[in-house]
Amino acid sequence: MTTSTYTILQLREAYLSKQFSAKQFLQQQLAAVNNDTNNCWISLISEQQLNHYLDALEQQNIADLPLYGVPFAIKDNIDLVELPTTAGCKEYSYQPSDSAFVVKQLIAAGAVPLGKTNLDQFATGLVGTRSPWGAVKNSFDENYISGGSSSGSAVSVAKGQVCFSLGTDTAGSGRVPAALNNILGLKATKGLLSCSGVVPACKSLDCVTLFAHTTDDLNLLLDVAGEYDAKDCYARPNQDSNTSHYQPLSELTGLKIAVAKAENLAFFGNASTEQLFGESLAQLRRLGAELVEIDFEPFLAAAKLLYEGPWVAERYAAIEAFFERDPNQCLPVIQTIIGGAKQHDAVGAFKAFYQLQAYKVTCDQVVEQFDAIVTPTAGSSYTIEAVNQDPIQLNSNMGYYTNFMNLLDYSAVSVPAGFYHNPQGQQQSFGITLFSCAYADRRLLSMSALIQQDNGFELGASKQPLPTLDAVAPCEDEMMDLAVCGAHLSGLPLNGQLTERAGQLVKATHSAAAYKLYALAGGPPARPGMIRDEQNGVAIEVEVWRLPKQHLGSFLQGIPHPLGLGKIELADGTWVNSFICEGYAAATAKDVSEFGGWRAYLASL
Mean pLDDT of 497-523: 85
Tell me, yes or no, whether 43 and 146 share the same domain. yes
- Has residue 131 been placed in a domain? yes
The domain boundary, picked from 455, 490, 505, lies at 455
pLDDT of residue 495: 82
Q: With the CA atoms of 458, 464, 469 and 475 taken in that order, what torsion angle do they form, in degrees rounded to the nearest 10? A: -170
- Has residue 444 been placed in a domain? yes
CATH number of the domain bearing residue 21: 3.90.1300.10
Of the listed ranges 1-15, 68-82, 463-477, the one predicted with least confidence:
463-477
pLDDT of residue 471: 44
Cβ pair 543, 490 in contact under 8 A: yes
Q: What is the DSSP code string of 90-150? A: GGG-B--SS--HHHHHHHHTT-EEEEEE--SGGG--SSS---TT-PPBPSS-TTBB--SSS
pLDDT of residue 273: 98
In this predicted model, what pLDDT tens digit does every residue of 263-274 receive, in sequence order?
999 999 999 999
pLDDT of residue 276: 98
pLDDT of residue 179: 98
**238: pLDDT strictly greater than 60:** yes
Confidence tier at 1 by pLDDT (50, 70, 90): very low
Give the closest residue to 434 by CA, choosing from 459, 405, 456, 457.
405
Mean pLDDT of 79-85: 98
Q: Where are the alpha helices (DSSP H) in 522-597?
A: 552-557
Mean pLDDT rounded to a whole number for the chain: 92
* DSSP3 helix / strand / coil % (the chain, rounded to 5): 35, 20, 40
**556: pLDDT strictly greater than 80:** no
- Has residue 466 been placed in a domain? no
Tell me, yes or no, whether 440 and 489 share the same domain. no
pLDDT of residue 162: 98
pLDDT of residue 63: 87
**How many domains is the chain built from?**
2
The radius of gyration computed from the CA coordinates of the chain, to the nearest angstrom, equals 26
Instruction: Say what percent of the chain tops pLDDT 90.
Output: 75
Is 173 among the residues known to form the active site? yes
Give the closest residue to 209 by CA, choosing from 186, 183, 238, 192.
186
Mean pLDDT of 233-254: 88
Catalytically annotated residue among 153, 165, 173, 429: 173
pLDDT of residue 479: 80
Tell me, yes or no, whether 46 and 166 share the same domain. yes
pLDDT of residue 313: 85
Mean pLDDT of 149-158: 98
The domain boundary, picked from 421, 455, 489, lies at 455
Tell me, yes or no, whether 178 and 316 share the same domain. yes
In this predicted model, what pLDDT tens digit does every residue of 416-467 receive, in sequence order?
999 999 999 999 999 999 999 999 999 999 999 999 999 999 999 998 999 9
**5: pLDDT strictly greater than 70:** yes
Tell me, yes or no, whether 496 and 374 share the same domain. no
CATH number of the domain bearing residue 503: 3.10.490.10
Mean pLDDT of 367-382: 98
pLDDT of residue 3: 54
Q: What is the DSSP code string of 351-400? A: HHHHHHHHHHHHHHHHHTTSSEEEEES-S---BHHHHHHSHHHHHHHHTT
Q: Where are the alpha helices (DSSP H) in 244-390?
A: 271-286, 297-308, 311-318, 320-325, 332-339, 346-367, 384-389
Of the listed ranges 20-29, 163-172, 504-513, the one predicted with least confidence:
504-513
Cβ pair 33, 161 in contact under 8 A: yes
User: For the packed helices 22-34 and 47-58, what is the interaxial angle rounded to 10 degrees?
Assistant: 160
Tell me, yes or no, whether 486 and 594 share the same domain. yes
Cβ pair 144, 384 in contact under 8 A: yes
DSSP H or E run through 153: helix 151-158
- Has residue 3 been placed in a domain? no
- Has residue 221 been placed in a domain? yes
Residue of higher predicted confidence among 106 and 336? 106
Confidence tier at 473 by pLDDT (50, 70, 90): very low
Give the closest residue to 602 by CA, choosing from 498, 495, 492, 484.
492
Tell me, yes or no, whether 301 and 380 share the same domain. yes
Is 18 among the residues known to form the active site? no
- Has residue 359 been placed in a domain? yes
Instruction: Say what percent of the chain tops pLDDT 70.
Output: 97
Tell me, yes or no, whether 409 and 499 share the same domain. no
The domain boundary, picked from 455, 485, 512, lies at 455
Catalytically annotated residue among 131, 146, 149, 381: 149
Q: How far apart are CA 395 and CA 393, in angstroms?
A: 5
- Has residue 246 been placed in a domain? no
Is 139 among the residues known to form the active site? no
Tell me, yes or no, whether 79 and 196 share the same domain. yes
**560: pLDDT strictly greater than 50:** yes
Range of the domain at 575: 476-604
Tell me, yes or no, whether 357 and 488 share the same domain. no
Tell me, yes or no, whether 192 and 308 share the same domain. yes
Residues 6+ apart with CB under 8 A from 594: 538
DSSP H or E run through 15: helix 8-16
Mean pLDDT of 552-578: 82
288: left (phi over 0), alpha (psi -120 to 50) or beta: left
In this predicted model, what pLDDT tens digit does every residue of 104-142 receive, in sequence order?
999 999 999 999 999 999 999 999 999 999 999 999 999
**472: pLDDT strictly greater than 80:** no
In this predicted model, what pLDDT tens digit does every residue of 166-222 receive, in sequence order?
999 999 999 999 999 999 999 999 999 999 999 999 999 999 999 999 999 999 999
Mean pLDDT of 329-338: 88
- Has residue 590 been placed in a domain? yes
Confidence tier at 561 by pLDDT (50, 70, 90): confident
Tell me, yes or no, whether 331 and 369 share the same domain. yes
**346: pLDDT strictly greater than 80:** yes
